Amino acid sequence: MSLINETVAVWVSPEGSPVRLVWRARRFRVTDTPTPLTASASLPDELLHFLTHPPKPVAAWRCQGTADDGTSLVFDIQHDDSGARWQLLRAYD
């Protein structure tokens, strides 16, 4: 695992999950089902809030990406503080 924290270009599906990303001039197609990275509602008050309020849009994902040469990596990506850009947090071989 490498801690990255770099800006990446991400394309998303109409539902909002990542389908492609470009990192360091390499294109990776998402080749698995992306997993939303969210906090779990473990306390009763948090659970009640979850049941009475609509969920926030997913701001972070873990996905496997495969480059044209067959290289596959797992990426953790999230929106930056402004919500305008994607940040690559970690990459796993």
Is residue 30 within 8 A of residue 23, CB to CB? The reply is: no
pLDDT value, residue 82? 81
Q: What is the pLDDT of residues 22-66, one digit of tens each?
A: 999 999 999 999 999 875 444 455 555 556 656 566 679 999 999
E strands, the chain, where?
2-12, 18-23, 26-30, 35-36, 60-67, 72-79, 86-92
E strands, 2-59, where?
2-12, 18-23, 26-30, 35-36
pTM for this entry = 0.77
**Contacting residues for 4 by C-beta, under 8 A, at least 6 apart:** 88, 89, 90, 91
Structure-token pair, residue 30: 């998402």
* Structural domain spans, the chain: 6-92
pLDDT value, residue 90? 93
Mean pLDDT of 8-29: 95
